[in-house]
Structure formats: C-alpha cells, structure tokens
C-alpha cells in the first residue's frame, strides 16, 4: 500500500481497514486453488466446439454423421438442440440478456453471425478425439456481406444481421429490420441556450475499439446431468446464482434442480457474467448421460466471448471563460456485437454526470455488428463515454487557460445534485478527491522532454441488489461466513473483516466460504462493484443476528433480560449495575455453551440492498513518447479514489492499480484486428497486446474515504471506478506530449507517430 | 410396500406418508452418484497404509528410509506424526471417543494392538507405487501375548493391552492396569425377593461374535490441505460435521478452517461415525502439500474398522405361572476391541426395558481385547442383550405354557412407565405392535417339518440432538432444503416430503441438498435413528419460517396485517372477510414477488431436538433346518414396528427389511475367524458370509403408526429397532426347530448339526 489519504476517518476498527493475510493467497500461489478446468470426475467426457470461419453466413446444412461415427465420440449437438425462446424480457434487468439471443449466441441456428460463432459441439472420451471429430463435421455455408463498424452498421444500407429484429421503438427505423435495436437518451435544460451562453464550444468525434476483459482463466465448466432432471454444474463464473437462473430459464429446467458451484475464478472483469460453454456441456451431458467438461482455448475466448463494445462518439461541450460548463451534448454508437445489449444506459449516465451542467443531452445507440456479442467489462460503457467527455473538457480548460482540476472543482457534483438519468446523490466525495489531486506532489511535478501529463475524472454508480449471507458459529468459537458470491477481487477478505469486526473475533478465526446454489440463499453476481457493499451488508446483518443469539444465551445464563446484555469486543457484558457480580462471557465461551442451550448458533440475512450510491476516481498520468517510433511509455501514475471505506485496503489498492493498468492497455495498445473477410487475426496474448508488469510503472494510489452513510462501515463500490477514467487520462497525457488532440483509441505507435509528424508539419 | 397397519392414523397429508420417486434413485442406479473414491483432483497422491501382522506387539523401531527413497513416494508417516492428547472426555458424549485413543487407533505409536492396526502410511504418485513402498518399510516388532475373548480379557491373569489404563472406578481392579475400563449398571427393586416370588427361574449364558456393519463402500476420502491451516476433506461419512469436529480436535486445528463435504455414502450402519483414514490423508497432504486420497480395501475394512462388539452374557429371569415377570438380572461383557468404548450404557438400557419388571439389575463390562476397536452398529449394544433377554423370556413362556405374545402383553411397558436407566416413556406403541402380531396370519400359520418359528421384541431409545436446516425458496417457486446430514437410509426423501407438506408444494419441486460444513450450521451425524426426527424438525421449522415470510409479503401486497394472512395448501389466503375481494397468492407467485420486496426468501432453524422417545419392533420368523447339514434357511419373516409416522413408507419398509436381514446374518452366519496367532482369516465377503438377496425370503413388513406427540408429524426413529430383535427372533426359531436352547451365535451349520445330534441323543 502506498498512501492513505488524510481524509481517512479516524476509527477504532480492529480488522476493518487493516491489511491482513489473504484468505485465498496460499492456495493461489501454490496452484492448489481449483479453477474451472481443475475438476475431474469418473466417466467424464471432453467437449469441443466447432466455430464459424465466416463473419456472416447462412448455415445451409450441418452433417454430423461422420463425427458421430468416430470411435470415442459420444454425442454431437447443433443449435437445434438448444430450446427456442420467444422474445421476452428477463426478470433481472441488469446483464441478464434476452433468452432468445442468449440461446442463439451460445450456438448459431440458421445463421453464423461472427467469426468464431459456435455452430456445433462434440463430446468425446478424450480432448484429442473431440478435436478430431470437429474436423469431420461438414457445414455448408452461404457467405453473406458483413459489417464490423457500429456507425456504419447503423446506416440504412448496412447488411442486416437479424431479419426479425426491429428497433424497440427508440431506434431510427421502427418499420423495417435494423441493426439499431435501441437508442437510450436523456436530456435536460435548453441545449441551444446553453451553447449560446458559452464562450468556447468544442465539438469532436471519438472512437474506441473493442477490448477484451483479458482474464487469465478461459471459461471452463463441468456439467453432470441426470435423467431425473438434476443438473450439477461446476463453472468459472462471477455469479453461480445468476448462471443457475440463466441456465434453468434457457434450458427450461426447475431452478432448485440446477445445482451450481463456483470454481475459483481466474479473473472475470464482467466477462464471466453470462453463459458460454455451460449450456453446451449440460446438453452434451444430457445426451450422453455422462459428465462433460468444456474448456475454451484462448483463441475461442477472443473470437467468441464478450469484449467491451467499440464505440463511435460525437460530443460537443461549451464553457464560459470562468470555467462554468454551460452545455454538453453527446451521441455514442456502441457495437453490441452480433446481438443487442451493449451498455447504452450506462453511457448516457456517464457522459456529464461528474458535473453540474444545466443543459445536456446524451444518446447512446445499441448497434449489432458481425463481431462477438459484447459482455460487461468493468464499468460497462463508461470508459468510452468518459474518454470523450473528459477529452473535450481538458481541451476546453486549456482553451480558457484554466487548471484542469479547478475547472472540475468549479462544476463538481455534490450531495443533493442529480445525475442526467435522475440519480440524486447522497454524500459523495468528488470534491474531496479533487482536493487530494491538487495537494499531491505529482500534480505539480516537473515533466521531462517528450513527456506529457494527463488528467481525467471518472464517475460510477454502483450496483446493490439481492444478497444473502449466513454467519455460522462453530462450537470452538471459530466462524464460517457463507455467501453466494465468487471472489473476483477480494470479497473473501472484506467479508471476513466485517464479520470479524462485528463479532470481535480475530480475522484468522473467520473462514469465508463461497457456497453453492443449493446450500445458501440467492446472491446476485459479483459485478457492478456491489459485493462488499451489498453482500457485506448481509454479512453484517447475519453477524449481528449471531450476536443477538449469543446475548440471549448470556442472558439466560445470567438470568437477566437479553436487552440488558451488551456486546463489545467479542464479549457479552452484563449491565453496569451487575459488573463485578457477573463475569463477561467471551464469544468462545458462549460458543461452547450454545449447543446445550437450544442448538447451534448461526445468523442469516437475505436483503435487497439499496443506497450504494456513486464513487469518483481521478487519475494523473505522465507518459513519454519515443519520437522515432511513436511508442508511448507510462512513466508515472497516481490514482485517487473515494472508496467510502477501504475494508481491505491492500485489495482496494490492487483494484485501483488493476483498473489503471487495464485502462493503459485500452488507451495505448488493445484492439481487435480483423482481416478483409471479417475474421479475427489476433486471437492470443502475443498479438492482442495487454500491458504486463514490465510495461507500467508502480501505480501510486491515494485512497480517499468519504464514508457512504448508507453502509454500516461507509463502503462504496471499488472495482469499477478505476477503469472509468483511465483511458481518458492516458490519452490526455499522450495528447499533451504530442501537442494535438488524439481522438481514436488505441493510441498505438503508428497513430502517435503520424500525429507527431502532423504536429511537426504544422497540422 | 406390503401392509400398512390399520393403526395408521387417517390424515390429509399429500406428501408425508406417500411413496415418491427416490431423490437419489437415478444417480445411484446409473452409477453417477459420487462416493468417497469418486473424487479426483489435479496433483492428487495415493495413500496406502501399512498394518500390523501381529495381534499384539511392541513396535521396537520403524525404518521408513527405503520407502522414502522410492521414486514416486512423496511422504511417509508413522504414529509419531499424530499429535498426542491427554486423556480427556470429549464434548459430545455419544460416539465421539477420547482423542487419545482415537489417535492411537488411527495409527499405533508404541504398540500394535490388533492384527491390521495401522503402523505407517505412504503417499505416492500412484496406487501401485504406494503399495510397493509399504513393502520397503521395515518394522521391528516384539510379539506379545494376546487375548481375543472379552470374558477372558476381564480376568486378572489376562494379557493387558494398555499399561496406562486403569478402570474408571467402576471396574474390578482400580489399582492396577486392566482391560476392563468400565462397568455400567442399573438396579431397582429387590432382586432376591423378586426371584423368590417367581414360580420359574431360568439362568443361561449367551455369547455372540463380533459382526461387521458390512457396508458396500469401503471408507474413502480425499484431503487437500494448505500451508495456512486450511483443510478440505471429501469423505464417506455418516456425519461430516462430526468428522470435522473429531478431525479438528484430533489434529488441533480450528474448526472453521476444516471444511468437510460428505460424499455419497455406500452404507454406514454406524460404522462411519468415526475417523479412520481421514487424519492420515490430512497429515500426508500437509507433509506433501498435495491432495491425498486414501481408500481402504475390503480386507482393511475387516481388519481395522469397527465391528459390533462380541459379547459374553449371563442372564437370569423369573416369572410367576400367570406370566408376571418378577425379576431379571444380567451381566454382559463386551469386547471393545483394542480401545475402550463398547456400547455398555445401551446394553444396560436394553435388557429388560420392554417390560415392567419390579426387580432388576443389569451390568455391562467394557473390555479391551486384541481386536479392532468396535464402532457403532445399528442400535449399538442392543441386539446382543436382546438376544439374551428375549431368549430366556421365550423359554420361560414355554415352561409356564403361555403364548409368547401374551406374556409380553402382560408385562409390556406403556406411557408413564420408566426404563431401568430412568427414561420415562411418553406415548409408545409396544402394546399396539403386539396386538398387530396376534392379529397377523403369520402368527397362527402352520409350519412344516424341520421348521421352527421364532419371536422376539426389541426396544430402542432414539437419538435427538443438534440439527439445522435451511429451506431456500428459489424465485421460480422451487425449493432447496439444505441440511448437514448424509443420507444413509432415505433422509433426502423424508426431508423433502416434510418440506413439501408444509409448503404445499409438489415433492418434485423440492430438492434436498446435503451441504458442507462451511455452508450450513451444525448437524450431528446421521446415526441413532435421529435424522428424520431431529433434522426433520429443523426442516419443518425452517419451512414454517419461509411461510411466515411469504405471509408477510402477501400482507404487504394486500395492505393487511400479517397475522390476518393464512397459509393453506401452498397459498397465502386473505381473511374470510376479504374473500372475493382479494385473490389468494400461490407460493410461486409470492416467490416471483419476493426479491422485489426485501430480498430472497429462506427459512432457517438450528435446534437441539428432544422428545424423540422409544420405539418397539417385533419379529416373527420361520426357519427350516436341513437335518443332514445343519443349514438353516429362513422361510418366512414378518416384522412389526411402531414408526410413529412413516414419512416415506417405502424407505421405512426398506429399513425394516434391511435390519431383519442384517439380523439373519448375525444370528446364522457372521463371525470373525482368527488363527492361532490372533490374525483375522476371513477378510472378504466370500469368507465373511453376509446374507444376500437369494438367502432370504421376502421380508413382510407391518408398519404400525402410533404418532409421537413430540414431533409435528409423529415421527419416531426407524433405522435401528429392526436390528434389535432380529438375532433373537431368528435364534428362537432355530431353537424351536431343533428342540433345544441355542445360546451361542452364530448358529452356523456345525453348531446346529451338533444340537440336532444332541437332541437325537436325548441330551
């Protein structure tokens, strides 16, 4: 950990706010943690998936007979094996897609919609036989014209992916099939008057490319099914309850019969919030009566699992010379991939929300293109919109000669203000974050030749929702904390710390457990930076339930009223009047007594958490450009974030650093390279270049703590805000170094070199 | 199912009392159910155990160096690796043994105490290498005199197993080391006066041999440990919570860090209530840092896992000519095996408890011998005592010319009566059971040449205790019922039926889950016929908790008070005054609404169940003797049992039939054959002859239902009573066929032939 801001509230917490040994640390560094591919059961078959080599093609026929005849092949499936679903809205709005599209994305039925789209799958007694069998499946395709760019795909003459898809009424063409499913927007004030009021108005167009979540562990799962309808699924997922819901609805099964266990997860970043191979493994298991394991390869992950949407954005903002932002207007086209569902709502919320701008309009278009369907990626939809809005704001500040932090302080939202989509802020910490930036040595530090400094602010409204927890007291006084949230970024540690703090028990005696979907009640997935907030609140409630039960035991032992028993630092205490007369009872003593006084002690909580609110993250970055190659090196990086309360500050710091690094990759390097036929060329980490440790400096963190009053410990979401402003900050630094606006991510060496040459040429 | 008695109470239950498809049926018949040996994880090692070839020997030295040097061997352990424990009483009285003895039984330290006693173990990369390595371990033994018979072992001149074991003050020699650890007894009335009052007094001596539980699945487990103290254990056990407690206490670990999952279990019958290979797998995993699987072979199961105690019993009873039993006196010596802990208390409770006998004394001796330590076996301690008491009672009835059922009816205990150990009976059904016997066609049916009919009654006081359950409502209206009890005889079915009945939901929509020790609160093991009673009560409580929460949702929806909402047949109903005005809401509708009204819905219960009470079981059996070979064939068998309420009558019938069959084996065939050196000779099912289906007739069952008022559905324990009286009934039938008392089990062909010859010779 680097610095902890002086905004950190003074507290007497013993475990909350402390860095402690990682609950999952040893198992991960010893290779003992079991990921999706680490489960083996007797009789298991291996699944492999055949994928379309075309960006867009009619499937005229599939002949699986030769594959079926291969010795060792136990079953072959095609899209016809996935139940069809009428178009219908899912019950859980966030992330859960329409089941019609979900089924078609998992396996194409009549049309392959992108290079890599699954068209068939086999289950065989070995991985090698399964791979061999794929070669024996004959698919007759009629290749169709394709479109990859969202803005082009939104035009009337573009090839249309779905003949049966009309817009939902918000799009441009409601009377004929369209790639534009939806336009979401928001508006307030009088735009025309706002721009008229401005002294400076800037309009620019920004683009960004799809980027992959880049988790280290490819998707992997193992399905065992039974003739009586039972399904057991082991899978690498950010939410096994959501996987259970999706799977049971997609395959029309009863939820209680679909028993899902989350494997350890090797990264998700939003990308493991939907289904890919799971239904295929389940269907192949049902066909064969045997367990089936399906593990994707890295090329399959790149070709067929959701990246973040690429974007095309037109944006216009105006300021007065005193720095007041008078108006903002933005339109963004998101490439949803082959099926609708890009994060349009989040984009609209993102553009102008850090600032009080009286006159704004934002619109986001959800556009299908012949690419893999996008999935959530850490603050879905926000980094691209922030890249545009913060880019223009920085340029405006420069034009009026105002400090970039000051212009933001002048317009910053605070408690009581309302976002464009109508979220009314509670206590938020944008001003505190900006003050920390101003006070930080990095902000005024000198920069060298060929260097530039960038700055940007990001806004993110977190998720809350359904969470459950059981806090189980063992009779030796140790504790299990069972929740249904996979740990993608430290939730084991934060759950443990909060339970320990409540109970007054050393964290080492508290074991966080990620329980399966049969054993504990529903928790929504680990996504939306929600887990430490929402599931944490359930854990706190459940721990307090345990304390109430222990107070009751002490009361019965002491023959006094339960309400007269206090709980402090792991002990039941008698009322002051009885001090000396009655000895306190420790949690351990009470645990040993409990089973004789009515049964085991456990606390439970099932909640639908609200009040999570927003968080802000500012980033300051210095880059150095190699004028000969256009290569950009990140030299210094400081990230400032209001986390409400850092329950596990070492993990919080890791989240901030990780978000910054993913933003560096997004800004400088990562892009999908398609050939002329619409096929993805860079399907591995060698060609799809994500930053590694040697590519980045140590990322300094400033943890700002403006407690969220709606959470007992003041928690805000932590995971997503660091990515929101990172591409914007890095791009701004490159602009600053190069000396001209840079609007098209990634700012890869050829683009930077071209810009350097343009500047040199006076353009 | 055969017959359901007319004592079956009339009920409107829809699922309780119905035979339904088995929740685990398909997985078991397809071979898909995962037993102890069916778990494989990456990097797993194989453990094998070296065992003493001597009945009693000092271990002078163990040289493991050659084994350690074998390629593929990753670790070798000896008894020195198991932590030592001071002699201390465990916290859970039933079954949990003293940890000192437990450690020594798992692996010998200074002395090997029986043929098969573990002395070392290896972990290697293959089973073959592990077996090879065992041959390379050199153990230097000093062979000592041994004793196998409990009565002989109780004599002052017997070889003593434990130099540091004195009796606990109840035994004969409190001032010098002794094989007799404990004598438990009870007494009431005036024995001398009682016998003086009798018209007929009979005194006999009975013996029985140790018999094995004979489960099909040998013990198997897989342990994964971590350097941070974490343990994950997959094991075939009757109680993973008890395994967790034992393991954590034995190896001095924190309970919450020991995470135990119960595999499917291939039979237990009491034999899987303690630890055998688990600590060995854990220690070898700790030594190697790798997962270790340990699976016993059948010979290891016979040589080193707990049989039921063999016994030596002197018993004396007196009756008046009118059938009144005036006095009973019994002493029984149980061979505990190498460590104290035979079920002496249960024996004392068993002898005379079905009857009101004013003057009684019973004592049971817990005697160590050079045999494997006994473990619980289905009604531990009761069948041997019942064999003696019922044998004498049958002989007394014959002597006074009274019908064996009538003599029992005359003396039968009923509500308000007290057992010898002071248990005061609630509503019990012995009289109802005996009336059923009298009314049954079998009772008066003719028997043929060389045939005999036997009859006996058994008594069993069930277990209650700690149980927990969570009933979890999924948002499609299906339900998970999570408990911590492995299903050894149908508890999945009974939990499901009770939850379905409470909720008014079809059983097919209720999924019973056996959850791990981290995810749900404590449940004591599946033993003592306690699960359907105690855990079932927790399930009912938890289901009612769900209903209360659903009533609350309906109340909020309807804007009325929760107490005005009734629950009936799966629906929330408005008060009568609002009928027509308000439509009922089904469980499914409420489930869909629930998450929007405060969170997921789940009910929880943690209890310490009491009130389980006693049950009685009568058995009527016809055998036919082959006069030339002495072979006994069981020709007809009817078993009558008060089950309180048969929640899943098909399983109840199976329990009754299974107990009878195990009793047939105990009575006629099963015995351990030791050679002159004290080594076990019959270590497989070919030589240790248990009855198979072709050996027995269809066992007819008469389910008597005298509801237990302490349980919502009237449940009594079911699993154990059928074995209590089975050996007595079968032996009585043989006596009847042969024409003379038969007091030494098993009544194998040579013994029967000898008796036939003695009768023919007039002896």
Share of chain A above pLDDT 70, in %: 96
Partner-chain contact A599 B468, CB within 8 Å: yes
- Cβ A759 vs Cβ A698: under 8 Å: no
Q: To the nearest whole angstrom, how far is the Cα of A723 from the nearest Cα of chain B?
A: 30
ipTM of the complex model? 0.93
- Cβ B602 vs Cβ B519: under 8 Å: no
Report the residue of B29, B510, B520 to disrupt the A interface, i.e. the one with the largest count of A CBs within 10 Å: B520
Residues 614-643 of A with CB under 8 A from B: none
Confidence at residue A595, expressed as pLDDT on a 0 to 100 scale: 84
How does residue A9 score in pLDDT terms, banded at 50, 70 and 90? low
Share of chain B above pLDDT 70, in %: 96
pLDDT (mean) for B372-380: 96
Residues 487-516 of A with CB under 8 A from B: 509-511, 513, 515-516
Between the alpha carbon of residue A601 and those of residues A546, A548, A598, B239, the distances in Å are 7, 10, 9, 18
Confidence at residue A590, expressed as pLDDT on a 0 to 100 scale: 97
Report the residue of A43, A480, A538 to disrupt the B interface, i.e. the one with the largest count of B CBs within 10 Å: A480
Hey, which CATH number is domain A311-462+612-760, 3.40.250.10, 3.40.50.300, 2.40.160.40, 3.30.365.10?
3.30.365.10
Cβ contacts of B36 on chain A, cutoff 8 Å: none
Partner-chain contact B599 A468, CB within 8 Å: yes
Confidence at residue A213, expressed as pLDDT on a 0 to 100 scale: 97
Confidence at residue A1, expressed as pLDDT on a 0 to 100 scale: 36
Token pair in block for residue A620: 């300051």
Partner-chain contact B42 A38, CB within 8 Å: yes
Name which residue leads in pLDDT, A410 or A168.
Answer: A410
Q: To the nearest whole angstrom, how far is the Cα of B157 from the nearest Cα of chain A?
A: 43
Pairing of strands A3-4, A699-704: parallel
Partner-chain contact B41 A25, CB within 8 Å: no
Contacts of B530 (CB under 8 A, 6+ apart): B462, B463, B464, B465, B467, B524, B609, B612, B717
- Cβ B85 vs Cβ B103: under 8 Å: yes
**A256 close to B (CB below 8 A):** yes
Token pair in block for residue B608: 């310490």
Cβ contacts of A230 on chain B, cutoff 8 Å: 26-27, 511
**3-state SS assignment for residue B143:** strand
Q: How far apart are CA B404 and CA B406, in angstroms?
A: 5
pLDDT (mean) for B727-751: 97
Partner-chain contact A470 B592, CB within 8 Å: no
Confidence at residue A738, expressed as pLDDT on a 0 to 100 scale: 97
Looking at the partner chain, which of A38, A43, A259 has a beta carbon nearest the beta carbon of B41? A38
Partner-chain contact B472 A31, CB within 8 Å: no
Kindly tell me if the per-residue pLDDT of B473 is higher than 80.
yes
Cβ contacts of A257 on chain B, cutoff 8 Å: 478, 511
Residue with tokens 């203000």: A417
CA dihedral A625, A631, A636, A640 (to 10 degrees): 110
Residues 8-67 of B with CB under 8 A from A: 21, 25-27, 30-32, 34, 38-43
- Quick one: which of A111, A256, A262, A309 has its CA closest to A745? A309
Within B259-381, residue ranges assigned H as helices are 278-288, 298-304, 344-350
**A248 close to B (CB below 8 A):** yes
- Cβ B608 vs Cβ A599: under 8 Å: yes
Token pair in block for residue A316: 């216009």
Q: How far apart are CA A412 and CA A395, in angstroms?
A: 17
**3-state SS assignment for residue A659:** helix
Cβ contacts of A41 on chain B, cutoff 8 Å: 34, 38-40
Cβ contacts of B521 on chain A, cutoff 8 Å: 470, 472, 600-602
A462-501 as b/e, with b when 16 or more CB fall inside 10 Å? Answer: bbbbbbbbbbbbbbbbbbbbbbbbbbbbbbbbbbbbbbbb
- Quick one: which of B350, B316, B348, B325 has its CA closest to B409? B325
Residues 257-276 of A with CB under 8 A from B: 257, 259
Partner-chain contact B598 A604, CB within 8 Å: no
The answer to which of A170-179, B86-95, B306-315, B518-527 has the lowest mean pLDDT is B86-95
A-chain residue closest to B249, CA distance: A476
Share of chain A above pLDDT 90, in %: 88
**A685 close to B (CB below 8 A):** no
Partner-chain contact B511 A602, CB within 8 Å: no
Q: Where are the beta strands (DSSP E) in B192-349?
A: 200-208, 211-212, 220-225, 231-235, 258-262, 292-295, 307-308, 311-319, 325-337
**B427 close to A (CB below 8 A):** no
Partner-chain contact A475 B228, CB within 8 Å: no
Residues 198-227 of A with CB under 8 A from B: 224, 226-227
Hey, which CATH number is domain B37-144+218-265+272-304, 3.90.1170.50, 3.40.710.10, 3.90.1200.10, 3.90.1570.10?
3.90.1170.50
Residue-wise pLDDT for A394-408, tens only, equals: 999 999 999 999 999
Query: Are the folds of B37-144+218-265+272-304 and B311-462+612-760 the same?
Result: no
Residue-wise pLDDT for A641-697, tens only, equals: 999 999 999 999 999 999 999 999 999 999 999 999 999 999 999 999 999 999 999
Looking at the partner chain, which of A34, A480, A522 has a beta carbon nearest the beta carbon of B600? A522
Q: How far apart are CA A348 and CA A361, in angstroms?
A: 9
**B228 close to A (CB below 8 A):** yes
For the whole model, what pTM was predicted?
0.95
Partner-chain contact A259 B511, CB within 8 Å: yes
Q: To the nearest whole angstrom, how far is the Cα of A522 from the nearest Cα of chain B?
A: 6
A-chain residue closest to B518, CA distance: A480
**A89 close to B (CB below 8 A):** no
Mean pLDDT of chain B, nearest integer: 94
Partner-chain contact B522 A39, CB within 8 Å: no
Q: How far apart are CA A443 and CA B308, in angstroms?
A: 79
Looking at the partner chain, which of B41, B513, B599 has a beta carbon nearest the beta carbon of A34? B41
Q: How far apart are CA B425 and CA B610, in angstroms?
A: 13
Mean pLDDT of chain A, nearest integer: 94
Confidence at residue B169, expressed as pLDDT on a 0 to 100 scale: 67
Residue-wise pLDDT for A704-723, tens only, equals: 999 999 999 999 999 999 99
Confidence at residue B2, expressed as pLDDT on a 0 to 100 scale: 39
Size of interface A-B (CB pairs under 8 A): 206
Residue B473: other Cβ atoms inside 10 A: 31
Partner-chain contact A520 B255, CB within 8 Å: no
pLDDT (mean) for A206-233: 96
Peptide linkage before A746 cis (omega within 30 of 0)? yes
Cβ contacts of B40 on chain A, cutoff 8 Å: 40-42
Residue-wise pLDDT for A625-639, tens only, equals: 999 999 999 999 999
Name which residue leads in pLDDT, A162 or A92.
Answer: A162
| Domain A465-609 bears CATH identifier 3.30.365.10 | yes
Q: How far apart are CA B469 and CA B520, in angstroms?
A: 7
- Quick one: which of A384, A329, A341 has its CA closest to A366? A341
pLDDT (mean) for A8-17: 77
**B472 close to A (CB below 8 A):** yes
Locate the domains of chain A by residue range: 37-144+218-265+272-304, 311-462+612-760, 465-609
Looking at the partner chain, which of B21, B30, B472 has a beta carbon nearest the beta carbon of A521? B472
Looking at the partner chain, which of A470, A510, A604 has a beta carbon nearest the beta carbon of B256? A510
Of the CA atoms within 13 Å of residue A11, those in its CB half-sphere come to: 19
Looking at the partner chain, which of A27, A511, A515 has a beta carbon nearest the beta carbon of B257? A511
In chain A, what's the furthest Cα-to-Cα distance? Answer: 89
Q: How far apart are CA A614 and CA A708, in angstroms?
A: 9
Kindly tell me if the per-residue pLDDT of B1 is higher than 80.
no
Share of chain B above pLDDT 90, in %: 88
């Amino acid at each position: 950990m680097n610095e902890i801001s002086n905004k950190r509230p003074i507290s007497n917490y013993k475990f909350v706010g402390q860095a402690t040994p990682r609950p999952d640390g040893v198992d991960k560094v010893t290779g003992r943690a079991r990921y999706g591919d680490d489960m083996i059961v007797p009789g298991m078959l291996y699944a492999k998936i055949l994928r379309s080599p075309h960006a867009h093609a009619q499937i005229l026929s599939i002949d699986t007979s030769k594959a079926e005849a291969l010795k060792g092949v136990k079953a072959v499936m095609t899209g016809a094996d996935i139940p069809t679903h009428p178009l219908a809205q899912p019950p859980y709005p966030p992330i859960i897609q329409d089941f019609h599209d979900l089924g078609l994305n998992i396996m194409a039925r009549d049309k392959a919609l992108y290079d890599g789209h699954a068209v068939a799958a086999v289950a065989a007694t070995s991985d090698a036989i399964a791979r061999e069998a794929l070669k024996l499946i004959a698919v007759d395709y009629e290749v169709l014209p394709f479109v990859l760019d969202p803005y082009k795909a939104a035009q009337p003459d573009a090839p249309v992916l779905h003949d049966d898809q009309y817009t939902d009424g918000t799009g441009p063409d409601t009377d004929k099939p369209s790639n534009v499913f939806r336009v979401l927007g928001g508006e307030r004030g009088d735009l025309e008057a706002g721009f008229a009021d401005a002294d400076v108005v800037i309009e620019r167009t920004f683009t960004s490319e799809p980027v992959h979540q880049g988790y280290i562990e490819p998707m992997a799962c193992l399905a065992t099914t039974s003739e009586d309808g039972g399904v057991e699924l082991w899978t690498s997922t950010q939410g096994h309850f959501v996987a259970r819901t999706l799977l049971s609805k997609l395959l029309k099964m009863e939820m209680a019969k679909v028993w899902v266990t989350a494997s350890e997860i090797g990264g998700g970043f939003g990308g493991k919030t939907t289904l890919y191979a799971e239904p295929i493994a389940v269907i192949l298991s049902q066909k064969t009566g045997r367990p089936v394991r399906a593990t994707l390869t890295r090329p399959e992950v790149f070709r067929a699992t959701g990246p973040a949407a690429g974007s095309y954005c037109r944006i216009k903002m105006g300021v007065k010379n005193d720095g007041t932002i008078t108006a903002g207007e933005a339109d963004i086209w998101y490439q949803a991939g082959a099926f609708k569902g890009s994060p349009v709502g989040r984009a609209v919320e993102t553009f102008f929300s850090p600032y009080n701008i009286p006159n704004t309009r934002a619109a986001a278009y959800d556009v299908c293109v012949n690419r893999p369907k996008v999935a959530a990626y850490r603050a879905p939809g926000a980094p691209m919109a922030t890249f545009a809005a913060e880019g223009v704001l920085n340029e405006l500040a420069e034009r009026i000669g105002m400090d970039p932090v000051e212009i933001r302080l002048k317009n910053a939202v605070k408690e009581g203000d309302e976002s464009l989509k109508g979220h009314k802020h509670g206590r938020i910490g944008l001003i505190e974050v900006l003050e920390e930036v101003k006070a930080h040595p990095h902000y005024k530090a000198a920069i060298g030749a060929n260097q530039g400094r960038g700055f940007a602010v990001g806004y993110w409204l977190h998720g809350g929702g359904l969470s459950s927890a059981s806090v189980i007291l063992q009779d030796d006084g140790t504790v299990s904390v069972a929740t249904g949230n996979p740990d993608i970024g430290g939730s084991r540690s934060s759950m443990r710390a909060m339970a320990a703090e409540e109970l007054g028990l050393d964290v080492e005696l508290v074991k966080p457990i990620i329980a399966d979907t049969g054993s504990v009640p529903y928790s929504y997935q680990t996504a939306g930076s929600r887990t430490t907030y929402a599931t944490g609140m359930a854990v706190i409630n459940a721990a307090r339930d345990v304390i109430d039960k222990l107070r009751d035991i002490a009361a019965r032992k002491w023959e006094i009223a339960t309400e007269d028993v206090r709980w402090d630092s792991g002990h039941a205490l008698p009322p002051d009047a009885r001090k000396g007369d009655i000895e306190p009872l420790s949690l351990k003593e009470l645990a040993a007594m409990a089973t004789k006084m009515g049964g085991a002690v456990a606390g439970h909580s099932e909640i639908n958490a609200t009040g999570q609110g927003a968080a802000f993250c500012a980033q300051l970055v210095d880059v150095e450009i190699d004028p000969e190659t256009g290569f950009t090196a990140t030299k210094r990086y400081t990230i400032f974030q209001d986390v409400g309360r850092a329950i596990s500050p070492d993990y919080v710091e890791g989240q901030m650093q990780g978000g910054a690094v993913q933003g560096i990759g997004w800004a400088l390097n990562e892009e999908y390279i398609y050939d002329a036929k619409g096929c993805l060329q860079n399907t591995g980490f060698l060609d799809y270049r994500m930053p590694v440790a040697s590519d980045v400096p140590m990322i300094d963190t400033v943890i700002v703590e403006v407690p969220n009053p709606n959470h007992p410990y003041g928690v805000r979401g932590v995971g997503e805000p660091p990515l929101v402003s990172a591409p914007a900050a890095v791009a701004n630094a490159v602009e600053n170094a190069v000396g001209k606006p840079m609007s098209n991510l990634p700012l890869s060496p050829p683009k930077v070199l071209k810009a350097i040459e343009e500047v040199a040429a006076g353009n």
